[in-house]
Amino acid sequence: MKKGTQRRATRTSTKASQSRGVGSNGDEAGQPTANGELICTTETTLAPEQLLELYRYLKLTRMVEERLVNLSRQTKVVGGVFRSLGQEATAVGTAYALKPQDFIAPLIRDLGAVLAKGIRPREVFAQYMAKAWGPSGGRDLNIHFGDMERGFIGPISHLGDMIPVMAGIVLAARMQKKDLVAVAYIGDGGMSTGAFHEGLNFAAVQRLPLIIVAEHNHYAYSTPTSKQTAVKNLADKAAGYGIPGHIVDGNDVIACYEVMKNATDFARAGGGSVLIEAKTYRRKGHAEHDDQRYLPAGELEEWERRDPLDRFERHLITQTIATREKLDEITSGVQREIDEDVAWAESSPMPEPEQSAYNVFDNDVVPPAFRPKVLEV
């Protein structure tokens, strides 16, 4: 590919993403301030109250996950706990830019997007514990549930498969003359699947308002990104589909909001699909069982310095948007909500076994759990 072609198709066009100084090697997330500490971009359209709301969602995401780890150690969680530690700003900032009618397809590291879309922590806790009052009633685990009212499509486990699904949703919306955009989150590993390619190619050709958020967190299980794709920047792949590609500092919540706001404005105006690459880092293993022994020395520590929550706190305080007391007050409110919601989820019964036969296929068809009884008659 000629250099010029690449530059045209892959651009970091928002001021927010440029001002964060994401280097060409993609690993320089953020510019240090005079004393060497990182803050967030100061170029924003967000009002102070919205910035505080963003802070609340970031804290909520981190603290819900921390509580899930505790519950898991108490053997109260069924299945694995998948952390988004270090990536919360990508999920929260991008989802916060959406309108209520927009749809998202989150993956395991996108709890922040789910919460920003209006799902309550109590639903998340009950779901992880496979309780009857959880959104899937114990049928599935972690964020494998959906909510059509709040614009959240439950993920298919097979990576990449949500891209054609979300393309279908925006195609259907266009046919029904509905004004909505869809956002599909995908990891660096998931982007190397056939389904990703076919889905995005279709959306691009049809100029559908589908926004892909590529979470470049440097690993897929234990495989570093460089071992499964030859591109340096995942946004470079946009050129292959003829759509704009943007690179954003995924640890800067304000930059993530702004890049998504621009992308949705573009898509809503009929511009078609957009690929956003968020440069970030998975600070925990794939799930809690993974001790990350494959990490090179010093890498984790380097990314701890770029922690999205610490950065945003420093930003809010140094830019005099909030005092430390105000942030502590928000944190206490989050803590109270989590305590109440865990108590609610724990008080839920486990589902009755025969309930597993309902809401899988059409409930009018004799549920399998009752078939032997029907045959007896």
Ligand X SMILES: Cc1ncc(C[n+]2csc(CCOP(=O)(O)OP(=O)(O)O)c2C)c(N)n1
Other Cβ atoms less than 10 A from the Cβ of 375: the count is: 8
- Contact call for residue 70 and ligand X (CB under 6 A): no
Q: Pick one of ligand X, Mg ion, none as the site partner of residue 311 (Cβ within 5 to 8 A by kind).
A: none
* For Mg ion, the closer CB: 89 or 316: 89
Nearest to 194 by CA among 234, 148, 161, 221: 161
Helix (H, G, I), strand (E, B) or coil at 231: coil
* For Mg ion, the closer CB: 156 or 330: 156
Binding piece for ligand X, criterion CB under 6 A, among 27-35, 140-148, 186-194, 254-262 = 186-194
Are 282 and 219 in contact by the 8 Å Cβ rule? The answer is yes
Nearest to 183 by CA among 156, 153, 157: 153
Binding piece for Mg ion, criterion CB under 5 A, among 20-28, 75-83, 119-127, 179-187 = 179-187
* For ligand X, the closer CB: 173 or 256: 256
Burial 334-359 (b: 16+ CB within 10 A, else e): beebbeebbebbeebeebeeeeebee
Q: Which long-range contacts (CB under 8 A, 24 or more apart) does 194-198 make?
A: 194/160, 195/158, 195/159, 195/160, 195/161, 195/163, 195/164, 196/159, 196/160, 196/163, 197/160, 198/163, 198/164
Structure tokens at 68: 């899930």
- Contact call for residue 371 and ligand X (CB under 6 A): no
Phi/psi of residue 131, each to 5°?
A: -85, 160
| Position with the least CB separation from Mg ion | 187
Choosing from 246, 282, 306, 315, the residue that interacts with ligand X (CB under 6 A) is 282
Binding piece for Mg ion, criterion CB under 5 A, among 41-49, 94-102, 114-122, 211-219 = 211-219
Whole-number minimum distance, CB 251 to ligand X, in Å?
Answer: 15
Burial of 11 (0-12, 13-18, 19+ CB in 10 A): middle
Are 16 and 254 in contact by the 8 Å Cβ rule? The answer is yes
* For ligand X, the closer CB: 55 or 219: 219
Binding piece for Mg ion, criterion CB under 5 A, among 117-125, 220-228, 288-296, 306-314 = 220-228
Binding mask 107-146 for ligand X (x = CB under 6 A): x-x-------------------------------------
* For ligand X, the closer CB: 46 or 256: 256
Residue 311 DSSP one-character state: H
- Contact call for residue 187 and Mg ion (CB under 5 A): yes
Cα 144 to Cα 183: distance, rounded to the nearest angstrom: 17
Binding mask 259-298 for Mg ion (x = CB under 5 A): ----------------------------------------
Whole-number minimum distance, CB 374 to ligand X, in Å?
Answer: 36
Choosing from 12, 84, 127, 217, the residue that interacts with Mg ion (CB under 5 A) is 217
Choosing from 103, 133, 202, 219, the residue that interacts with ligand X (CB under 6 A) is 219
Are 351 and 131 in contact by the 8 Å Cβ rule? The answer is yes
Contact residues: ligand X, CB under 6 A? 107, 109, 157-159, 187-190, 193, 215, 217, 219-221, 282, 286
